[in-house]
Structure 1
Amino acid sequence: MSVGNQRGVVDALKIDLKRMHETWMEVVWPRQRSAEGTVLGKWTPDGGMSLYLYRLWSALGVPIVALVYPLVLFGYFIRFQTRRVNSTAVSLGFVGVVTLFAILWGALAVLAKFQFSASLDSGGVTAVAAASVVAIVSAALAFGSYALDGRPLTVLLAYPFAMTAIFLPPVVAALYAPAVAGVVLDQSDSLARWFLFDAPSIFGVQEFLIEEFEREGFAYVLMWFGISVPLGWLLGILVTLADLVRPTPE
């Protein structure tokens, strides 16, 4: 990496950190973010208790910004990837997106019917086809939620629907096709065991899941649906955070 590129990266990091800290300050105090070049300038207390509180709030923001910034960097990466997907989706249009997912997951249903039918249990082909329909509908809803052009709606619905469209059909196919199950379900079971027995307890959720569900069959579908929704929210929040720190033109 050249010296010029290194300086460019360092300058970008400094700008990001400064902007994040100013955003933190603006939670409580007025005219903090990008206010230095304005007519009124950045607001600062005249003195007394307000100045003490201002400095205290500023000091508290330093470790918080340091902890959050790695998430912002990850958000930049996710934003780059999602905008490539968004660009492709917009160029295809609603009909194109639905058709593409129909072809992809329809092919999975056809394979289940004609290629893996001998290894599928009774009702397996129907289950794979149903999961494919859910994935296609989820893709359509994800595109529709994004096309409405509202950040809250995009985070709340578009990202979770997109994750569901990606995760659901392979998991359902794995329930009935041993060749797929050897990869998908084994890894799912490892993830489930880690969450249930090794991960920190989350308000008794693990205990409830252990009592109410067995790690087999349709429970894996519920598991991945339960993963896809919060994962979609998380990715949406990270992209929103990246946009807040370093906005880019749409």
Structure 2
Amino acid sequence: MSGGTASGIVAGIRIDLQRLHETWMEIVYPRQRDAADTVLGKWTPNTQTGWIAYRLWGALGALLVGILYPLVLLGYVFRAQTSRIDLAAARIGAIGVFVVLVVLWGALSAFARYQFSTSGFIAVLAASVVAVVAGLLAYAFSRVGGRLTTVVFAYPFGVTALLLPPVVAALYSPTLAETVFSRSTAIARWINDNLLDVYNINQRLRRSYDLRGIAHAAMWFAISIPVGWLVGTVVTLANYVRPGR
């Protein structure tokens, strides 16, 4: 990496951190974000007590920004990838998206037909059908426009369309099944013991459902929804800190 490139990256990070911190400060205090070069300048307190509160609020903001900024960086990565996918989808249209997904996941289903058990083939085929429908829904919601619609609907359906069939195929792969199933079970146990340990939801799930076979595929479909929300949220955060070109 050249010195110029490194200095440019450092300067970009510094601007990002400053923008995040000024946004935090502006929650309580006026004229904070991008105000340093204005006529009035950045607002500052004029009393000692005010300065103490101002500094404490700033210190808390610095801590939160330090925690939040890795998500911003992750958002930059996801934004670059999702922008490419969105541009490609816009070029080929809904029919093109349908054809690409049918060919892609149809090939995976054909592979599963000859390599996996009957139950494995059915699971992969079902996941592929769900993925094709999810891909079309993701395309439709992305064309509707609006950040909220995109984050709440387009991203989760997009994640499902891209990840569900290969995950299900891995669950039934003769070479990967044992490892993937054990990790899938561990993830399910963690979610049940931590995230769903409210109002006895986890106990009701344990009594009503047995995590075997197709239930693993259903679990990963359910997981893809919040994963899509997470991706959409960090991309939105990245756009706020550094709007895309």
Decide which moves more: 190-199 or 158-167. 190-199
How far apart, in 1, do the equivalents of 2:100 and 2:46 lie? 61
Is 1:98–1:140's contact at 8 Å kept on the other side of the alignment? yes
Question: Which residue does the alignment assign to 1:45?
Answer: 45
TM-score scaled by length of structure 1:
0.83
Question: Which residue does the alignment assign to 2:182?
Answer: 189
Question: Which residue does the alignment assign to 2:80?
Answer: 80
Decide which moves more: 127-136 or 89-98. 127-136
How far apart, in 2, do the equivalents of 1:194 and 1:130 lie? 22
How far apart, in 2, do the equivalents of 1:145 and 1:197 lie? 32
In the TM superposition, what are the counterparts of 1:21-36 in structure 2 within 5 Å? 21-36=21-36
Unaligned runs of 5+ in 1: none
Decide which moves more: 194-203 or 238-247. 194-203
| Inter-CA distance 243–197: structure 2 relative to 1 (3 Å threshold) | closer
Is 1:97–1:140's contact at 8 Å kept on the other side of the alignment? yes
| Inter-CA distance 70–32: structure 2 relative to 1 (3 Å threshold) | same
Structure 1 letter corresponding to 2:164 = L
How far apart, in 2, do the equivalents of 1:87 and 1:185 lie? 38
How far apart, in 2, do the equivalents of 1:162 and 1:137 lie? 10
| Inter-CA distance 189–210: structure 2 relative to 1 (3 Å threshold) | farther
| Inter-CA distance 197–211: structure 2 relative to 1 (3 Å threshold) | farther
Is 2:127–2:217's contact at 8 Å kept on the other side of the alignment? no
Question: Which residue does the alignment assign to 2:93?
Answer: 93
- Equivalenced residue count is 242
**Aligned-CA RMSD value:** 2.8
Question: Which residue does the alignment assign to 1:221?
Answer: 217
Structure 2 letter corresponding to 1:193 = A
Percent pairwise identity: 45
How far apart, in 2, do the equivalents of 1:137 and 1:155 lie? 18
- Residue 171 of structure 1 and its aligned partner are, at CA, apart by 4.5
How far apart, in 1, do the equivalents of 2:21 and 2:129 lie? 46
- Residue 126 of structure 1 and its aligned partner are, at CA, apart by 5.4
Structure 2 letter corresponding to 1:139 = G
How far apart, in 1, do the equivalents of 2:122 and 2:5 lie? 55
Write the deviation string for residues 125-148 of structure 1: whole angstroms up to 9, x where unpaired: 555444322211100111111122
1:151 equivalent in alignment to 2:147? yes
- Out of 199, 204, 210, the position equivalent to 2:197 is 204
Write the deviation string for residues 11-70 of structure 1: whole angstroms up to 9, x where unpaired: 112111111100111222222111222233222233264443322211111111111111
